[in-house]
Structure 1
Amino acid sequence: MHYGNLFTSCFRMPKNVKEALAGNCWIEAMQDELSQFQKLHVWDLVDLPKGVHPIGTRWVFKCKTDDRHVVVKNKARLVVQGFYQQERLDYTEVYAPVARLEAIHLFLAYASFVDFKVYQLDVKSAFLYGKVHEEVYVTQPPGFEDPQNPHKVYKLDKALYGLHQAPRACEDMCIEFEQVMKSKFEMSNMGELTFFLGLQVSQQEIFLHQTKYVQNILSKYKMNDCTTYSTPIPVNHSLHPDKDGKDVDCKLYRGVIGSLMYLTASRPDIMFAVSLCSRFQSQPKESHLIVVKRIFRYLKGKRQLGIWYSKQQSFDLKAYTDSDYGGCNLDRKSTSGGCQFLGERLVFWQCKKQSTVSISTCEAEYVAVASCCSQILWIQPQLRDYGLNYTETPMFIDNTATMTITNNPVKHSKTKQIEIRHHFIRDCAEKHLIELVKVHTNDNLADLFTKAFVVHISNILST
């Protein structure tokens, strides 16, 4: 046996089952997966009922790495080819529990405030704990067929990855998670939280970044050797539909935008630039791709930036809101920007094109305030779960007219053009849930999310 080849195969993802079966390390990974099935009574080997077609299964292999790209585990997962399932016949409801990244930011900010050390637990094969109520039959795992019963199939009792109803079954299990925890689940302690959902976490004073992800996308789109820029987008970018420009591959452009959108989970400095470029995904042109490549050039020079949550700060909730006016060259709609802080910790940020065309700067600012207020109303009950009750949250804005409209209980005739749904901020002000506070334009941190910046924002991001 050539040990060099065996060592290499253990740290390289096989292309198919035949290749995986040639390496002992991958055989062990597959056997470990199947042993979990046996332990949790996932399925039973039965004869296939007449008129029933079993769903195929396949192996998915992955080398799991840490934040330094070191392979720490070989994972083999048996998945069901759920795309063969038919709605209403094989499944009904489909939904899944999803953790909002904003909730993760809030939790880490609170951990820094109370000086908690955050640890991570991994639930092994979480989907295997959810019970399937429908009758589902699957084929035997490739490479692990029963030689004495080759024509039999497995009837599922628990959910497998790939089934449409698997996330629903998993959600039922999560309701009882707090009570049963380790008594029911086989869990492994992964130590201090350092890597979660693509986010890297350093816990000396909590620093949230995606340096590894930046390196991955630079390599993926062959931008490792590019020159660098000090800003992600020029101030006078003048991006427009460019109907006469040269077309580029839509799939490539959308893939790049999707990669950058995920990076905004820890990089608010590129939020406006990525949001602006995402508006041209239907018909991307070469001029748009050039701007996107500039974002990559900026990232290459600033790949280690992230969000820093200091321990020596207050924890008061405050927000900043701003808007440009008719800044979109595509349809002249305005852009709303906002950011929310706990003390000096940036936990939420938004950049979104408004759904209607504003006919004045006051209207554009008013709509932006309404969007920021909605985020505040989501944050306040989240903080109550931490034992913190915030009212009269200050929202800093640099537009006096908007403050006047909000604080005026009588709907002035000049505000009729503003949709009624945006006027709910008046009710929030009357109920003392928020308070609009005047701030100078130069001190409005939300300005970052409505236009290109010239200098680096060192007071928000850190290295």
Structure 2
Amino acid sequence: MVIALATQNCWDLHHIDINNAFLHGYLDEEVYMLPPEGYLKARKDEVCLLKRSLYGLKQASRQWNLEFSDKLVAFGFTQSVHDNCLFVKKDDQSFLALIIYVDDVLITGTSVEEIQSLKKYLNDLFTIKDLGHAKYFLGLEIFRNDAGTHLCQRKYILDLLKDAGVLGCKPASTPLPQGYNVTAQGGAMFADTGRFRRLVGRLLYLNLSRPDISYGVQQLSQFVHAPTQGHWDAAIHLLRYLKGTPSLGLFYPVGQSNKFEGFCDADWATCLLTRKSLTGYCIFYGKSLVSWKTKKQKTVSKSSAEAEYRSMAATVCELQWLCHLSHDLRINVALPVALWCDNKAALHITANPVFHERTKHLDIDCHIVRNQYKAGLIHPQHVSTHHQPADLFTKSLGGPLFRTHLLKLGMCCSTHIPT
């Protein structure tokens, strides 16, 4: 899932890296070490006195998170209950938002003075490296101009192709051939299972900015325990697609509306091994894609309507979370949210659950769709299958339709690469 914290010209993303190796107070035993490279505060012949080295301990991540969270709260930030990595600080004059991943931090806000004050506060407590305006964050390349923000992972993709040994391969037009089903691929077991697992793991991280490969990666990730040669060939085909589109990424234009819009779809009994259905959804904020997922459903659905209804339930849960997160970010969301589905039976059940014999076997949690419809959170509507962008997350499409849905997702190639 991707959320753009700054889509307005008055907000700037700042990237800082915190050196958190010098937290004290966890052990009485004295340990000495030389200051690390880049630590400029130590004078000549000085060493570090550590009461407990933070890195390498089982409780390290928890202790660091508690320490950093307490310091941010003391500065006036509030930790979001919907995402513990998000901290916000708001008053009548300014608004600050901060996201942390271990010791890498993204800061954005409406006041440059407040951002500088926060950086000084953190630098006094810890040693930070101010990387300025965000251009590269955990493999994610960020480019901003007057039109909006572009996210891609070009360098990550090129490194991935180089490590896999396919940097000079012939590009493919789609992640998987049309109608291709990975579960049907048999053949001999792939000899290097570790290589396959590493590749799938890196592709899962690439899905952060590439929703177009979500279906292919989901299919491959089912067989990391015992991949066959057919599965490896499918992975190579996906890499060939990435070879032709290394700069493709998400674009978030400025000046958007305050409306969410969701599209959900299901592929009934698509898994040939378990006959479980596949859920796919994508959610837009204005014209920007902010959330997407491809996931196999937990139980077997007895009809296509039931599979679609479960897909709607998963989408509604995501919409609820996004609405709560928007409230934390001081964004007013227009309700109800349009939820587009291409199955009329599922829409009828939502509006008027009178088909008792067909619906009483559904899990109770699926009726969250009905409850949120009555509460005014969503407004389910029908969309033609040919105009359903969520199809891209549930099946392997042909070239023309695949490219049409890519445009609907707001994906484009960046002409400016920060790295």
TM range (shorter): 0.7 to 0.9
Q: 1:459 maps to what in 2? A: 408
Q: 1:18 maps to what in 2? A: none
Q: 2:149 maps to what in 1? A: 206
What is the rounded CA distance, in whole Å, between the counterparts of 1:459 and 1:315 in structure 2? 18
Counterpart of 1:193 (choices 134, 159, 168) is 134
Deviation at 1:394, TM superposition (A): 1.4
Q: 2:22 maps to what in 1? A: 128
Amino acid in structure 1 at the alignment position of 2:291: F
- Conserved 8 A contact 1:320-1:339: yes
SS of residue paired to 1:280: coil
Matched, 1:230 2:173: yes
Matched, 1:258 2:153: no
- Conserved 8 A contact 1:318-1:342: yes
Pick which of 279-288 and 362-371 moved more: 279-288
Structure 1 pair 394/127, CA: closer, same or farther in 2 (3 Å)?
farther
Counterpart of 1:168 (choices 50, 62, 68) is 62
Deviation at 1:135, TM superposition (A): 6.1
Counterpart of 1:118 (choices 13, 22, 28) is 13
Larger CA Rg, structure 1 vs 2:
1
SS of residue paired to 2:222: helix
- Conserved 8 A contact 1:199-1:208: yes
Deviation at 1:373, TM superposition (A): 0.8
What is the rounded CA distance, in whole Å, between the counterparts of 2:166 and 2:55 in structure 1? 34
Normalising to structure 1: TM-score of the pair? 0.70
- Conserved 8 A contact 1:132-1:169: no
Matched, 1:397 2:341: yes
Q: 1:94 maps to what in 2? A: none
What is the rounded CA distance, in whole Å, between the counterparts of 2:166 and 2:187 in structure 1? 27
What is the rounded CA distance, in whole Å, between the counterparts of 2:153 and 2:177 in structure 1? 24
Pick which of 441-450 and 287-296 moved more: 441-450
Deviation at 1:244, TM superposition (A): 4.5
SS of residue paired to 1:160: coil
Amino acid in structure 1 at the alignment position of 2:258: F
Q: 2:99 maps to what in 1? A: none
Matched, 1:368 2:311: yes
Q: Which has the higher contact order (CA 8 A, sep 6+)?
A: 2
What is the rounded CA distance, in whole Å, between the counterparts of 1:136 and 1:343 in structure 2? 56
Q: 2:262 maps to what in 1? A: 319
Deviation at 1:121, TM superposition (A): 2.1
SS of residue paired to 2:239: helix
Q: Describe how 1:59-78 pairs up with structure 2 within 5 A.
A: none
Deviation at 1:405, TM superposition (A): 1.2
Structure 1 pair 259/343, CA: closer, same or farther in 2 (3 Å)?
same
Residue by residue over 1:176-232, the C-alpha shift from the partner in whole angstroms, topping out at 9 and shown as x without a partner, is: 225153442333321110001110000112100000000000010101111111111
- Conserved 8 A contact 1:135-1:156: no
Deviation at 1:159, TM superposition (A): 4.3
Q: Describe how 1:439-450 pairs up with structure 2 within 5 A.
A: 439-450=383-394
Counterpart of 2:325 (choices 382, 395, 407) is 382
Q: 1:22 maps to what in 2? A: none
What is the rounded CA distance, in whole Å, between the counterparts of 2:358 and 2:26 in structure 1? 58
Deviation at 1:258, TM superposition (A): 0.5
- Conserved 8 A contact 1:135-1:155: no
- Conserved 8 A contact 1:370-1:423: yes
Structure 1 pair 242/368, CA: closer, same or farther in 2 (3 Å)?
same
Q: Describe how 1:419-438 pairs up with structure 2 within 5 A.
A: 419-438=363-382
Amino acid in structure 2 at the alignment position of 1:439: V
Normalising to structure 2: TM-score of the pair? 0.77
Aligned-pair Cα RMSD in Å: 2.5
SS of residue paired to 1:275: helix
Pick which of 258-267 and 417-426 moved more: 417-426
Structure 1 pair 155/114, CA: closer, same or farther in 2 (3 Å)?
closer
- Conserved 8 A contact 1:363-1:418: yes
Residue by residue over 1:45-75, the C-alpha shift from the partner in whole angstroms, topping out at 9 and shown as x without a partner, is: xxxxxxxxxxxxxxxxxxxxxxxxxxxxxxx
Amino acid in structure 1 at the alignment position of 2:351: N
SS of residue paired to 1:229: coil
What is the rounded CA distance, in whole Å, between the counterparts of 1:135 and 1:405 in structure 2? 64
Q: Describe how 1:344-355 pairs up with structure 2 within 5 A.
A: 344-355=287-298
- Conserved 8 A contact 2:14-2:132: yes
Q: 1:106 maps to what in 2? A: 4
Which has the larger share of strand? 2
Residue by residue over 1:350-407, the C-alpha shift from the partner in whole angstroms, topping out at 9 and shown as x without a partner, is: 0001111111000100010111111111111110012223332111111111111122
SS of residue paired to 1:247: coil
Structure 1 pair 384/330, CA: closer, same or farther in 2 (3 Å)?
same
- Conserved 8 A contact 2:25-2:52: yes
Q: Describe how 1:212-291 pairs up with structure 2 within 5 A.
A: 212-240=155-183, 242-291=185-234
What is the rounded CA distance, in whole Å, between the counterparts of 2:294 and 2:169 in structure 1? 28
Gaps of 5+ in 1: 1-100, 144-153
What is the rounded CA distance, in whole Å, between the counterparts of 1:354 and 1:183 in structure 2? 49
Q: 1:36 maps to what in 2? A: none
Gaps of 5+ in 2: 37-47, 76-120, 414-419
